[in-house]
Structure 1
């Protein structure tokens, strides 16, 4: 499947299935036509279901009991990845149109600091290297150590986090994957054909599913984290989940609810909790509650 319009239709279909699991094919077509002004045939809808499964690994399941269709609940990570991809395409279409009248566009859209886009020119070459199974070579700056180092890696994956792009790969002579921010790269070039096989590193790459952000070595296993979150903050978590495993339980009119996650608790997750300030309390596990408590106490000692 290629093109903006088919992807936009897939986005709408996913939204319909999320809003009403078990919905019939006839009702999906009706929603597409009447709510989204998207006239689609039954045959096209069946091809869209097939495209979701074949091209994006998202299974649309049919239930005889309700005579309807639902998204496979085990596909949430893939669903979120596809929606993020389509979101980037939306932005690309917007700015493509803006090229016709840039002065008009810049007065209506305000972007954040352009430093976030530093290194983005390397994306195309990195993706090409991944497709062609080629090494890449670059100088990388370590902000924490304040050092620069030359690297040759076999790139396996491009990853976006907080509007910054990273390449995940295996350094020459190593057997563990590492993550490099492309905004800290210079002297970039594509190198020789790589002997690294991605299939040998799938187990390591799969760990990204269990985390927020980039660091999956901060804790040895996935934990169930339970938070007490006040109702106003829950609205924000509902609209923008921190992780695909997020589950919210709140009674109507209640002052607070319970939010659970199954993930590897890392620094990025801790920061997300701290960003919610007094609107959240860690309930369990006890060791993680104590960790957040100690972080807050350490912060307070600075004042």
Structure 2
């Protein structure tokens, strides 16, 4: 069951309130806390209804989202957790969650050629370790082909930047049939991975049809002289 951002903010706010036993939480107090959270995070100033909070409490009590929260009512008006150590943020991951997290880890690994991946490498490793431990040594459900020695990966980042900034690039390229490399000006449109090889698609100066160039056949790449970018 998908949860939208506003609902998640409400659930986490209610969870924080019910864990706080230094205060007694009525429906009105929960409404006030949730309204403040929605205003802080989403800029919503309409407040929240009593009916919405009651529905949220019911969903948190149920297994629709896997919470099964032990919510009880004291003196017919004060809400709290029966288990003082319970929190919806500490429920164990189910099998589907673990599968999706593992798929995300494997997908992130495919971007090693991008410069910003080096900043994410440690985060991905920690995520992978967490998934591995939580799954009790469950194997990966996605098997990507990998070739750490593949040539041309160093051009992924500059081409990505050229595409997002809409700038042409000068490329020295050796095609499969050519004996010598040639220089060309390419207006790159997008990058594509196919059968464990990367390609850049774009248009050359003086041509009307698009070109597909393999990154492993690029010998040099630099920013082209100032020129009007030709979009796709």
Using the size of structure 2 for normalisation, the TM-score is 0.40
More strand by share: 1
Task: Please identify the structure whose Cα radius of gyration is greater.
Answer: 2
More helix by share: 1
Using the size of structure 1 for normalisation, the TM-score is 0.32
Q: Using CA pairs below 8 Å that are at least 6 residues apart, which structure has the higher relative contact order?
A: 2
